[in-house]
Amino acid sequence: MIEETLLIAQLKSIQTKEKAFRQLIFLYKERLYWHIRKIVISHDDADDVLQNTFIKIFKNIDKFNQESKLFTWMYRIATNESITFINKKAKQRNINITDYQQELVSSLASDDFFTGDEIQLILQKAIAILPRKQQLVFNMKYFDELKYNEMSEILGTTVGALKASYFHAVKKIESYIKKYTD
Amino acid sequence: MENNLKNSEAHLKSLFEKENGFSVPKNYFKDTKVQLMGFLLEDKIVKKKTFSTPELYFDNLEDSIITKVTLKEKKLTIFSFKQKKYKLAAIGIAASIMLSIGIGYFSNFTSEENFENLTQNDIESWILNSSSDITPQEVATYIPFENKNTTDFIFANINDQEIENYIIYNENYMLLNEIN
Cβ–Cβ below 8 Å for B50 and A115: yes
Residues A78 and A25 in one domain: yes
ipTM of the complex: 0.79
Decide if B65 touches A, using CB distance below 8 A: yes
Please indicate whether, in this complex, the C-beta atoms of B40 and A143 are within 8 angstroms of each other. Answer: no
Examine the domain organization and report whether A81 and A6 are in the same domain.
Answer: yes
Chain A, residues 112-141, CB within 8 A of chain B, namely: 113-116, 119-120, 123-124, 141
A60 and A150 both lie in a single domain: no
Q: The whole model's pTM is what? A: 0.60
Number of domains in chain A: 2
Burial class (CB in 10 A: 0-12, 13-18, 19+), B112: exposed
- Are residues B102 and B96 in contact, defined by beta-carbon separation less than 8 angstroms? no
For every residue of A94-110, DSSP letters joined together read TS-HHHHHHHHHHGGGG
Residue numbers of the domain that contains A64:
1-110
Cα-Cα-Cα-Cα dihedral sign, residues A171, A176, A181, A182: positive
The answer, for A63 touching chain B at a CB cutoff of 8 Å, is no
CA-based nearest distance B74→chain A, Å: 13
* Residue where a domain terminates, one of A81, A110, A139: A110
pLDDT average, residue stretch A172-177: 88
Q: Hey, are the CB atoms on A174 and B54 less than 8 Å from each other?
A: no
**pLDDT per position as a tens digit, A5-48:** 899 999 999 899 999 999 999 999 999 999 999 999 999 999 99
Do A17 and A48 share a structural domain? yes
Residue B20: per-residue pLDDT: 47
At A116, the pLDDT band (50, 70, 90 cuts) reads confident
A145 with A34: CB under 8 angstroms?
no
CATH number assigned to the domain comprising residue A141: 1.10.10.10
Residue A107 has pLDDT above 50, yes or no: yes
Partner residue facing A170 (CB), from B27, B41, B51:
B41
Q: Check A25 against B47: CB less than 8 A apart.
A: no
> What's the burial of A136, exposed, middle or buried (CB within 10 Å: 0-12/13-18/19+)?
buried
pLDDT in 10s for each residue of chain B, 180 residues = 556 555 665 655 565 454 444 555 666 455 545 554 555 565 556 666 788 898 889 988 898 898 888 776 654 444 455 555 556 666 666 666 666 665 555 555 555 566 667 777 777 676 666 655 565 556 666 655 555 554 455 555 667 767 776 666 655 555 555 554
CA distance A181 to chain B (A): 10
Please indicate whether, in this complex, the C-beta atoms of A18 and B66 are within 8 angstroms of each other. Answer: yes
| CATH code of residue A69 | 1.10.1740.10
* Residue that terminates a domain, selected from A76, A110, A144: A110
- Residues in chain A with CB shorter than 8 Å from the CB of B66 are 18, 21-22, 25
> Chain B residue with minimal CA distance to A171?
B37
Instruction: Please tell me which residue, A116 or A56, carries the higher pLDDT value.
Output: A56
* End position of a domain, from candidates A110, A127, A150: A110
Chain A closest-CA separation from residue B52 CA (Å): 5
Residue B19 DSSP code: S
Same domain, A106 and A120: no
pLDDT digits (tens, 9 = 90+) for A33-44: 999 999 999 999
Could you tell me if A18 lies within 8 Å of chain B, comparing CB atoms? yes
Query: Model confidence at A77, in pLDDT bands (50, 70, 90)?
Result: very high
Greater pLDDT, A178 or B121: A178
